[in-house]
Structures are given as C-alpha cells and as structure tokens.
Amino acid sequence: MKDNFEYFNSKKTRREAMNCFAGLGFATLGIKVDKKIAKMPVIEWNAHIFSSKTDRYPIHPNAVYRPDLSIHPENPLAAYIKRLNDEKIDKAVIVHPEPYGDDHRLIIDCLNEEPERLKGTSLFYPKDLRSPQKLEQLVKDNPNIISTRFHAHRGKEFYMNSFDDDGVKALWKKAYELDLVVELHIGPNYGKQVAKLMKEFRGTKVLIDHLAEPHLGTAIEFSDILDLAAFDNTFMKLSGISHFATDAPNYESSLPFTSRVIKEFGPDKLIWGSGSTSIIDIHMADYSNENRAKVKGSNIQKLLNWK
C-alpha cells in the first residue's frame, strides 16, 4: 500500500528526462528518437483509492483491516489524477481495496469520472455463493471493470481455505467466462493450487501481484510460482519489492532475485505495478528500451485490448 503514492524526487525518470530533451530539440542534441517506443504508453496497475466520505463509501462489515480514512480526501481521484499527470503516466488500472469488501461504489464513481483513462478491478468473497452472479452483474453495468482479485497468502486465510474450494472455483470460472483478468495476490505456497485451476480453465488471463510475496514462502514453494510462467496469458507484476527490500527507491539489493523472475517470465509477460518506472530501467537494464517499454505499459494495453 505504501507504494501507491510514492514520489521519487532525487532522480528524474527516463520518461521525464526524454521530455526535457524534447524541449531542447532532439535534432540539436543529435539523438535519434525511436518513434515506436515513443508511442508505447505508460500504464500503472496498482493504486488503491480511499475516501474519507464514509457516508457514501463505508467500510465493509467484513473488512479485513480498517485504514485511517481521516488522512484521505473526500475526493481522492483528483489527487490521483494529479499524480498521473506529474509522473507522465498515461493510463491506470486502479485496484479495489479490501476494506470496501464487495461494495464497489467508490471505484465505480472513479471509473465513471475518468472512463477513457482508468480501468478497475473487483473483489468478491468466494464463500458467498452469490459472488459469481454479483461479478457478472457488476461487469455488465460497468465494462471498465476488467479483473477480479483473489487474496491468499500466509496470514491472510480468511477469504478462502484453498483454491480447491467450490466457491473459489465458481468465481474463477465466472471470471474466465467473462474474459476477465484473474488477479492473484498470493504467496508462494499457493502456486501448485493455482496451477490446477489454470489447467482446468486453459487460457485464463492471470496476473500475479507483487512477485507472489516471496518473503512469505520458501524457495521450494517459489519454484511452483516460476512454473506458472509456462502457462499462456500469465503475467507477473514487478511490484511490491518494498515488501522485502528496504533500499528505496529502486531496491537494487533485490536484483539477484528479480533478475531470475524477469528471466523466467520474460519481457512480454511482465507488468509494472508500483513506484517509479525507474525500477523497470534498473531491474531490466540488460533488456532493450522496447522491452522495458512493454513492461511499463504496452503489455497491459495488449492484455486489455485498451485502445
């Protein structure tokens, strides 16, 4: 969560630097611009939006945690759009926060306010037998909802016992039928269970959040996460590095780990999630500018067919 509105003032991002050069004139500097890369968008998929307007956006009775809403504005979207503009981020997928449960009023209002620039995710309780129907109705009414999210890692077992649960399977099946992205905030210990569902519903579009929280599992369990890269339409979000590394802003200490994950999934199956795009440039320094641009946004654009 702390990544969502983190600013990096010590260095300009590569995109900001390019803009500075553009102001001086690339021809004068003798720099050749790759027009293909220049057209590739920067798209973020990570931010959680909270509002202090609790009469309109109450915390759900089954909320797993209760944030201090007094620190958030009544209209949080304005602050978030300012951040997108300041960071030169073209579009974003905003993530429906857990404390609102299956009440999606806030994210729907945000999407209605910025329908061209924003898409959003959903959250439902697998133990609620009505969840698949609720998801279907939500997407029917709000086509900018493009994903539903499952939470399962050590210390967060209250949503579900296992991906083998009937309720989980029913909700996953509905997401598959609706051609939604299944977003997985999972720990490494759930890799094998996820693989079973991915085999059952071949072609499911899957996004694994925060590098599968590697600090919450063992090396042997994480090998099951790496195996998921073999499935079609499976993406890893290069985010949440701050959950296990402390050398902000770019977390170079984690390079031996992230380089291994990046190699396994490859630049066509990675998505940027949080912090600054400079994280991509540093952790993918051995990759081409075009491949880094894919991770910064065009992979999401392609995944969602986002024009």
- Interatomic CA distance for residues 72 and 64, integer angstroms: 19
Q: Residue 300: name the closest of 95, 103, 110, 135 by CA.
A: 95
What is the reported pLDDT for 32? 55
Q: Residue 287: name the closest of 270, 301, 304, 274 by CA.
A: 270
What is the reported pLDDT for 19? 44
- Interatomic CA distance for residues 140 and 73, integer angstroms: 29
Asked if the model's pLDDT at residue 200 lies above 50, the reply is: yes
Task: Report the C-alpha dihedral over residues 254, 255, 260, 263, rounded to 10 degrees.
Answer: 140
Per-residue pLDDT tens for 165-174? Answer: 999 999 999 9
Tokens of 98: 């857990």
Burial class, 197, CB count within 10 angstroms (exposed 0-12 / middle 13-18 / buried 19+): buried
Per-residue pLDDT tens for 80-111? Answer: 999 999 999 999 999 999 999 999 999 999 99
For residues 3-13, average pLDDT: 38
**Is the pTM higher than 0.85?**
yes
For residues 139-167, average pLDDT: 93
Residue burial 2-15, b: 16+ Cβ < 10 Å; e: rest: ebbeeebeeeebbb
Between 5 and 159, residue with greater pLDDT: 159
Band of pLDDT at residue 25, cut at 50, 70 and 90: very low
Least confident of 145-159, 222-236, 246-260: 145-159
Could you give the residue ranges of the DSSP H alpha helices within 201-284? 219-227, 255-265, 278-283
Place of tokens 């649960």: 165
> Which domains are seen in the chain, by residue range?
40-304 (3.20.20.140)
For residues 130-145, average pLDDT: 98
> Letter for the amino acid at 210?
H
What is the reported pLDDT for 257? 98
Asked if the model's pLDDT at residue 142 lies above 60, the reply is: yes
Name the region of 128 (left: φ>0; alpha: ψ -120 to 50; beta: rest). beta
